[in-house]
Amino acid sequence: MEYRKLGESGLELSTITYGAFAIGGTLWGGNEKQDSINAIHASLDNGVTSLDTAPFYGLGRSEELIGEAIKGKSRDKIQLLNKFGLVWDGSNKGKGEFFFNAEDNGATYPIYKFNSKANIIKEVEESLSRLGTDYIDLLQVHWPDATTPIEETMLAMDDLIKQGKIRAAGVCNYDAAQLTEAAKTIKLASNQVSYSMLNRVIEKDVVPYVLENNMGIIAYSPMERGLLTGKYFKEAKLKENDHRNGYFGQFGVEKVKALLDAIEPIAVAKNASLSQLVLRWTSLQPGITVVLAGARNAAQAIDNAKAMDINLTDAELQFITAQVSKI
Q: Which helix (H) or strand (E) holds 6?
A: none
Distances (CA, A) of 24 to 28, 125, 199, 304, 306: 8, 19, 24, 19, 24
3-class SS of residue 75:
helix
On whether the CB atoms of residues 327 and 258 are closer than 8 A, the answer is: no
Q: What does the chain come to in residues?
A: 327
Rounded CA-CA distance 164/81 in Å is 15
Active-site option among 57, 109, 174, 220? 57
| Residues contacting 190, CB < 8 A, separation 6+ | 6, 7, 9, 138, 140, 168, 170, 171, 210, 215, 216, 217, 218, 289, 290
| 57 tagged catalytic | yes
| Positions marked active-site | 57
